[in-house]
Amino acid sequence: MYDDSDEEKLRKKGQTEMKHRILQLYLNPWIKKISTVEPNLLFVDGFAGPGIYPNGSQGSPLIAMDMADKILSNTAYVENRLDSFECIFIEADPDNFAKLDEAVQKKEKSVDSRIEARCVHGKFENWAESFIDEYAYGQPSPSLLFIDPFGYGNIPFELITDLFQLREQSLELLITFMAGKMAQWMEDSNHQKAITSALGSKEWKQRISSEMGKDERAERFSSIYQQQLKHDAGANFTMPFEMVEESKRQICYYLIHVTNHWQGLKVMKETMFNAGADGEFAYLGPDHAGYEDEQMSFAEFGETDDFADRIESFAEELYSQYKGEKLPFRELLKATLDQNVFKVGHYRDAFQILKQEGKLEVEHRPHLPNGNESRGYGLDDLIVFVDMSLDSFL
């Protein structure tokens, strides 16, 4: 067992690079969009580490500060409306904390003065409890909380729930959920208590069997956790990204995004799609290829040779589910976007297929902000799934 500050434990692995890439790519649109809500934003890194890895690459705290600085320097409309980007970096290990504090102080000298960073020496759960108490009769600034522990035993589900419910909107979580470790240790009685605490329910004992394969167990743990986030924490949307351990080619953990706004889901889904492999929303360890190419577009990446067939199947699934119904495109996305592997552009591709078959019509509503007067599918346009059955003509 390595200490938290051991260089082998801190070695930046492929899934860590992928995790940081997703965080970095999402921070860009998140800052730009959420700064239209309020001028003061908050980013929290609950398990910040030393700030810099042994190989010299930046950790998540410095990545976040750099991204905020880049946006403030290059995006005029954000520069004019963002008053502060507060960062709280929490680290319990004393050696890691000393390195973190030094790295953050150095970084502060080179970034915009509105980026205010504070390092907290202590455990995330202690900070979280104090933070929740602080806003018992108010709410924090719009926040993105990056909760990235090595394990799962010290973060009870109730704590996640209380954090998420501090704001009805504009508070999002990005959680490293150690489903692989749960699958590995689920038969150990001490780990069973920790798993139940992390999930907030004993239901997993009836739904997950040791006879299942390890990856199947990990997938089931992730599914239960997301159900809990929606049912008990009140989250509208969750989006998981699977991380495979390089040496074993087995699921290590899921990076799970939690939000109440469908547009946050939309952007994160596109971010994960761009980073993932074969439309799987996954990092495949040594079998992963392509994500290093930052110039590859969403339309090109992840769309395997059979992707056109998958879009056709998706079109038929939508038609089967909504035949005879009429609803705004926006509401369709809210109802289905976190239930499949497709982006908003893929929905429009599916609509085109159904339209050619006479199964779909669109009622454009140009008087609304996102209606489309003559072509395409605006978010406020009505999508009509035509009932082609014989009974509909009687």
Which pLDDT tens digit goes with each residue over 130-142?
Answer: 999 999 999 999 9
Q: What is the DSSP string of 304-344?
A: -TTHHHHHHHHHHHHHHHHTT-EEEHHHHHHHHGGGSS--H
* Residue 49 confidence class, pLDDT cut points 50, 70, 90: very high
Which whole-number Å values give the CA distances from 347 to 92, 229, 376, in the listed order? 45, 26, 11
Average pLDDT, the chain: 88
Q: How far apart are CA 197 and CA 191, in angstroms?
A: 10
Of the given ranges (145-149, 216-220, 390-394), which has the lowest mean pLDDT?
390-394
Segment 225-235 shows an average pLDDT of 96
Segment 56-65 shows an average pLDDT of 95
Does residue 203 carry a pLDDT above 70? yes
* Residue 154 confidence class, pLDDT cut points 50, 70, 90: confident
Q: How far apart are CA 343 and CA 271, in angstroms?
A: 10
* Residue 16 confidence class, pLDDT cut points 50, 70, 90: confident
Nearest to 55 by CA among 95, 16, 104: 16
Q: What is the DSSP string of 143-166?
A: EEEEE--S-STT--HHHHHHHHTT
* Residue 285 confidence class, pLDDT cut points 50, 70, 90: low
Locate the DSSP E strands across the chain: 40-45, 84-91, 115-121, 143-147, 171-177, 237-245, 250-259, 282-283, 326-328, 360-363, 382-385
β pairing state of 171-177 and 237-245: unpaired
* Residue 161 confidence class, pLDDT cut points 50, 70, 90: very high
Per residue in 299-329, pLDDT (tens digit) is 333 455 577 888 999 999 999 999 999 999 9
Tell me, what's the pLDDT at 293? Answer: 34
Contact 46, 128 (CB under 8 A): yes
**Residue 38: strand, helix, or coil:** coil
Nearest to 23 by CA among 3, 5, 48: 48
Q: Which amino acid is at 128?
A: A
Tell me, what's the pLDDT at 372? Answer: 86
Q: Which two tokens stand for residue 111?
A: 């970034």
In the chain the domains, ranked by start, together with CATH numbers, are: 7-287 (3.40.50), 307-393 (1.10.10)
Q: Which amino acid is at 122?
A: G
Contact 235, 262 (CB under 8 A): no
* Residue 250 confidence class, pLDDT cut points 50, 70, 90: confident
DSSP tag of 56: S
Tell me, what's the pLDDT at 7? Answer: 45
Segment 64-69 shows an average pLDDT of 96
Percentage of the chain with pLDDT > 90?
73
DSSP tag of 57: -
pTM above 0.85, yes or no: yes
Tell me, what's the pLDDT at 55? Answer: 85
Does residue 61 carry a pLDDT above 90? yes
* Residue 284 confidence class, pLDDT cut points 50, 70, 90: low
